[in-house]
């Protein structure tokens, strides 16, 4: 088994994680790109630094919420593009311990989530709109990209890289075992060795040999021979890859879709466009049915409170996961075509039929004739029978099998899972 396969074994088992976007931008409450969209200077943004005091921040509550939702790992923004550090970095004064909060928010997150048994991930923005040596004028998205005062400003980008690498070293040295390093993001010529990515990865692997890293430092994770910094998993965003992810050699590449619950990563007070728990459950199933993970985002507000809508969705997802998690954890794609009524996930000889559409009459399982040893409703363990009822007899061709569900409605409208033990 190659190094990446070894490192990602737990990742392919756990399948479901919590993404947390949190920082100063929660005060303007118009999402984490507010500085770029509204071209807000460091000076205009400074009042939020001087005010930030999330009095209700209780990461133990966050960790319990994630655990109850069935999430097995979490990824918190330690620094987003605005350059504000949620951890006690010795390389900058622009950090949470210097705000009225006077707290190392990352340390409290690590301790709380580790105590609940979740694996720990750090999101770290390689983009930095605060640092004086990050290129601003003419950049694609820097808040000062077309500000005259920055036109002739010279920057020492190597000094920025020393800062960025130094902070990654702090994060991977001072907080114990870290399981995921989630870099964000490369663009245009700002990619790969522009970040001194090989040096950065070698440092990371030395500090945390078992850590897994996303693909956003650059390079081509789809290559049959990817760069050392191309990452351990592919990170589609706000989409599920239609066919899953194979590299140029046709090999499976671990991947994780990151998805928002509403339309913003960071807290946006007016964004009430939340997905339903049903959509989240079916998104998670779709990811796993295509050999992927789901990293589902919450955006706590300036007080440190996760929006009620997010809490309610995660709670309903958790109720489903509590009964049906076996069809997610450690599962992957089945070697069967997608059925009309829903999706399949599989773990060894156990096939999980995720039935979304009750249809009329018995449920039809193409290709499974004489292959099903036992059938159970996963949620309650109740026995189901593989049989061909009178109305199906004329359709019982060589390949299919039928299971009759009682009643006109599915037991679980979100997703009714039938556990099928197949003959070896
Ligand atoms: O610009 C960021 C964005 O704010 C957010 O953090 C997402 C999450 O994957 N990543 C970048 C956009 O691709």
Residue pLDDT, tens place only, 45-84: 999 999 999 999 999 999 999 999 999 999 999 999 999 9
> Is residue 366 located within the same domain as residue 268?
no
412 in the same domain as 315: no
Residue 334 lies in a domain: no
Question: What's the pLDDT tens digit per position in 111-158?
Answer: 999 999 999 999 999 999 999 999 999 999 999 999 999 999 999 999
Flag whether pLDDT at 394 surpasses 90. no
Determine the Cα–Cα distance for residues 370 and 384; give it in Å rounded to an integer: 15
Query: Is 332 a member of any domain?
Result: no
pTM: 0.98
Q: Helix or strand or coil: residue 420?
A: strand
Mean model confidence pLDDT for the chain: 97
- Give yes or no for residue 237 CB within 6 A of ligand 1: yes
- The reply to whether ligand 1 has any atom less than 6 angstroms from the CB of 185 is yes
Residue 41 shares a structural domain with residue 94: yes
- 188: CB partners within 8 A, 6+ apart: 140
User: From the CA of 264, how far away is ligand 1's center (Å)?
Assistant: 9
pLDDT at residue 32 in the model: 98
Residue with tokens 């737990």: 10
Do 363 and 320 share a domain, yes or no? Answer: no
d(CA 137, CA 116) in angstroms, rounded, equals 45
Tokens read off for 199: 């040096």
Q: Is 184's C-beta closer than 6 angstroms to any atom of ligand 1?
A: yes
- CA 23 to chain CA centroid, nearest Å: 18
Whether 32 and 108 map to the same domain: the answer is yes
199 CA → ligand 1 middle, Å: 24
* Residue 89: partners with Cβ closer than 8 Å, 6 or more residues away: 95, 167, 170
Ligand 1 near 265 CB (within 6 A): yes
**Residue 168 within a domain:** yes
Is 408 contained in some domain? yes
What CA–CA distance (Å, rounded) separates 5 from 253?
A: 9
Q: Are 365 and 401 in contact (CB under 8 A)?
A: yes
Listed in sequence order, the residues at least 6 apart from 301 whose beta carbon sits closer than 8 Å to its beta carbon are 26, 29, 267, 269, 307
At 397 the pLDDT is 66
Which ligand 1 atom lies nearest to the CA of residue 266?
4
Which sign does the torsion angle of CA 135, 138, 142, 146 carry? positive
Average pLDDT, integer, range 20-43: 98
Residue with tokens 């440190």: 304
Which two structure tokens, joined as six digits, stand for 152?
A: 């002739």
Per-residue confidence (pLDDT) for residue 163, from 0 to 100: 99
Q: Percent of the chain beyond pLDDT 90?
A: 96
183 Cα–ligand 1 center, Å: 10
Say if residue 368 is in the same domain as residue 278.
no
Pair (156, 229) in one structural domain = yes
Residue 282 CA to residue 313 CA, distance in Å, equals 13
Please write the tens of the pLDDT for every residue from 83-113: 999 999 999 999 999 999 999 999 999 999 9
401 shares a domain with 293: no
Residue 342 and residue 349 in contact, taking contact as beta carbons nearer than 8 Å: no
Kindly report, residue by residue over 349-393, the tens digit of the pLDDT. Answer: 999 999 999 999 999 999 999 999 999 999 999 999 999 988 888
Last residue of a domain, one of 278, 296, 327: 327
* DSSP E strands, 212-291: 212-213, 255-260
Considering the domain architecture, whether residues 311 and 399 belong to the same structural domain is answered as no
What is the per-residue pLDDT for 2?
A: 84
| CATH code: domain of residue 222 | 3.20.20.80
**Residues 388, 389, 390, 391: is their CA dihedral positive or negative?**
negative
Is the Cβ–Cβ distance between 275 and 261 less than 8 Å? yes
Mutate to test the pocket of ligand 1, among 265, 268, 293, 297 (most ligand atoms within 8 A of CB): 265
Residue range(s) defining the domain that contains residue 348: 342-422
- For the segment 293-320, the average pLDDT, to the nearest whole number, is 98
- 344's enclosing H/E stretch is strand 342-347
Domain count, the chain: 2
Pocket mutation for ligand 1, best pick of 123, 186, 237 (most atoms within 8 Å of C-beta): 237
293 and 384, same structural domain?
A: no
Domain assignment of residue 243, yes or no: yes
């Amino acid at each position: 088994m190659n190094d990446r396969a070894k490192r990602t074994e737990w990742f392919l088992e756990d399948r479901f994680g919590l993404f947390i976007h949190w920082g100063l931008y929660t005060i303007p409450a118009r999402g984490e790109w507010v500085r770029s969209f509204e071209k807000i200077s460091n000076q205009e943004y400074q009042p939020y630094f001087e005010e930030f005091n999330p009095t209700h921040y209780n990461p133990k509550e966050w960790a319990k919420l994630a655990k109850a939702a069935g999430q097995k790992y979490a990824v918190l923004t330690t620094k987003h593009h605005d350059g504000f550090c949620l951890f006690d970095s010795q390389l900058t004064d622009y950090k949470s311990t210097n705000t009225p909060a006077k707290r190392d928010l990352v340390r409290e997150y690590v301790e709380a989530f580790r105590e609940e048994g979740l694996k720990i991930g750090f999101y770290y923005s390689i983009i930095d709109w605060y640092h004086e040596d990050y290129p601003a004028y003419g950049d694609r998205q820097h808040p000062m990209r077309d500000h005259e005062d920055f036109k002739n400003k010279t920057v020492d980008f190597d000094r920025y890289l020393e800062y960025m690498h130094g902070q990654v070293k702090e994060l991977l040295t001072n907080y114990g075992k870290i399981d995921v390093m989630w870099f964000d993001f490369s663009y245009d010529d700002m990619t790969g060795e522009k970040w001194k990515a090989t040096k950065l990865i070698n440092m990371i692997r030395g500090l945390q040999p078992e850590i897994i890293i996303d693909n956003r430092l650059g390079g081509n994770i789809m290559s049959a021979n990817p760069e050392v910094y191309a990452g351990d998993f592919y990170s589609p965003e706000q989409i599920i890859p239609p066919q899953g992810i194979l590299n140029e050699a046709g090999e499976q590449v671990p991947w994780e879709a990151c998805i928002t619950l509403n339309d913003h990563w960071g807290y946006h007070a007016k964004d009430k466009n939340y997905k339903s728990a049903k959509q989240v459950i079916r998104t998670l199933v779709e990811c796993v049915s295509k050999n992927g993970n789901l990293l589902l985002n919450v955006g706590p507000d300036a007080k440190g409170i996760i929006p009620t809508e997010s809490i309610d969705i995660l709670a309903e997802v958790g109720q489903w996961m509590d009964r049906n998690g076996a069809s997610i954890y450690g599962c992957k794609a089945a070697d069967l075509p997608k059925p009309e009524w829903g999706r399949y996930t599989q773990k060894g000889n156990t096939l999980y039929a995720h039935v979304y559409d009750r249809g009329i009459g018995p449920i039809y399982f193409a290709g499974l004739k004489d292959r099903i040893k036992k059938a159970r409703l996963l949620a309650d363990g109740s026995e189901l029978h593989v049989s061909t009822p009178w109305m199906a007899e004329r359709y019982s061709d060589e390949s299919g099998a039928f299971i009759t569900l009682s009643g006109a409605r599915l037991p679980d409208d979100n997703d009714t899972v039938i556990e099928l033990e197949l003959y070896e």
